[in-house]
Amino acid sequence: MSPEPITFLLGRRDEPTDALRDYCAFLSEALAEHGILGEIRWVPWAEHSWPAALHALRLQARSWRGRWVFV
């Protein structure tokens, strides 16, 4: 049985580069070598407002029980 995926929860993207997103992507690649899936999820609060973003996050988070989530 493979371990649960690890979720990296990120906020607004920095432009033109996003070092935190890049770090999470590199970490996901390193985890994949050990059979662990790392997935990046976004909280689009700047585009959709905080209430809408938190509502969407609440719905997504239901499936995250027992997982590691890095904020």
pLDDT, one tens digit per residue, over 3-46 is: 789 999 998 887 788 899 999 999 999 999 999 999 999 888 88
CB-based contacts of 33-36 (< 8 A; 24+ apart in sequence): 35/2, 35/3, 36/2, 36/3, 36/5, 36/6
Eight-class DSSP state of 63: G
| pLDDT for position 2 | 62
Note the pTM of the prediction, 2 decimals.
0.81
Q: Tens digit of pLDDT for each residue in 57-70?
A: 999 899 888 899 99
pLDDT at residue 46, as a whole number: 84
What is the reported pLDDT for 16? Answer: 83
